[in-house]
Amino acid sequence: MSEKKDNIFRRLYYGVLKENPTVVLCLGLCPTLAVTTSAKNGLAMGIFTSVVLILSNLFISLLRKLIPQTERILGFVVIIGTFTTLSQLFLQAYFPDINEALGIFIPLTAVNTVIYDRAEKYAVSHNAALSIFDGIGMGIGYTLIITILGAIREILAMGTVFGYRLIPAGYSISIAALAPGGFIILACIIAIANKINGGRRL
């Protein structure tokens, strides 16, 4: 794809719909499945990952001429690790309860495949403005799916969404809150997206 044809709206469209990181590219499944036991956790993780993604996309794009081609993974590790640590400190200072709820998956953002994929396939070969919008588009797409997944799991497992009760207590499918429930519900979401897209992806 040449840089002339590409623009910020195209980046947003690709990130949210056409190349949605979770349902089309199937990346970053580890945190997606682990933290989505409630819609609130999903939303928080989505926003956290998006912030790290946008910042690291910006810096990788700015430094793309300085990072040697052969050692680029090491460059990505340092940049993404730094922003994860910074964002984690911010979270610890202002939202300690969210930091507590997400636990080990906050530092694991430093190895989130969505961020690596965007760094490798996009930020390292495009200019800063486009890379920021790529990060924003991908971030919105990621947050959207992770929140939907969290909401579905929360309804099934606890009968609530963002804490509001929809189904009376006592009617719940407890496996939805465990890992197998996450795997199956995510599989259904991806299958629905495949059906809507009409064709097989990946």
Partner 1 sequence: MTKLIYAAIISAFINNLVLTRTFGTNSLIRDSRDYGSAIRLGVSILIITSLSSVITWPIGRYLLEKFNLSALETIVFLLIEAAVVWLLLALVRKISEKKYQQLSPLLTLTIANSAVLGIILNNVSVGYSFVRSTVFSIFGAIGFGITLILMAGIRERIRYNDVPQPFEGVPILLVTAALMAIAFYGFTGLI
Give me the residue label for tokens 């519900």.
185
Burial of 123 (0-12, 13-18, 19+ CB in 10 A): buried
- Binding-residue pattern over the window 36 to 75 for partner 1, x denoting contact by CB under 8 A: -------------------------------------xx-
User: CB-based contacts of 3: which residues, under 8 Å, 6+ apart?
Assistant: 126, 127, 130
The reply on whether position 96 binds partner 1 by CB under 8 A is no
The verdict on 160 binding partner 1 (CB under 8 A) reads no
Nearer to partner 1 (CB atom), residue 1 or residue 178: 178
- Characterize 165-181 residue by residue with b for buried, 16 or more Cβ atoms within 10 angstroms of its Cβ, and e for exposed: eeeeeeebeeebbeeeb
Q: Kindly state whether residue 181 participates in binding partner 1, applying the rule CB under 8 A.
A: yes
Lookup: tokens for 49: 């990952």
Rule CB under 8 A: say whether 138 interacts with partner 1: no
Residue ranges that bind partner 1, judged by CB under 8 A: 26-31, 33-34, 73-74, 76-78, 81-82, 84-85, 88-89, 104, 107-108, 110-113, 116, 175, 178-184, 186-188, 190-192, 194-195, 200-202
